[in-house]
Amino acid sequence: MSLSRFLQPPNWKRPLGYSNGVLAQGRQVFIAGQVGWDPCDGRFTNSSLPEQVTQALRNVLSVLAEAQGRPEHIVRMTWYLTSRAEYLAQLKQIGAAYREIMGKHFPAMTAVEVTALVEPQAKVEIEATAVIP
Whether residue 59 has pLDDT greater than 80: yes
Residues present in the chain in total = 133
Q: What span, in angstroms and rounded, lies between the C-alpha atoms of 57 and 36?
A: 8
Kindly report, residue by residue over 75-123, the tens digit of the pLDDT. Answer: 999 999 999 999 999 999 999 999 999 999 999 999 999 999 999 999 9
At 1, is the pLDDT very low, low, confident or very high (cuts 50, 70, 90)?
Answer: very low
Residues with Cβ within 8 Å of 45's Cβ and at least 6 positions away in sequence, in order, are 37, 38, 51, 55
- For residue 37, the number of C-alpha atoms closer than 13 Å in the C-beta half-sphere is 17
Whether residue 4 has pLDDT greater than 90: no
Q: What value does the mean pLDDT of the chain take?
A: 94
Measured at the alpha carbon of residue 112, what is the angle toward residues 110 and 116, in degrees to the nearest 5?
140
Domain boundaries, the chain: 27-132
Average pLDDT of the residues in 15-42: 94
Q: What span, in angstroms and rounded, lies between the C-alpha atoms of 57 and 41?
A: 17
Q: What per-residue confidence (pLDDT) applies to 37? A: 97
Average pLDDT of the residues in 30-44: 96
Q: What span, in angstroms and rounded, lies between the C-alpha atoms of 35 and 60?
A: 9
Residue 14 neighbours by CB distance under 10 Å: 8
Q: What per-residue confidence (pLDDT) applies to 82? A: 98
Domain 27-132 has CATH 3.30.930.10: no
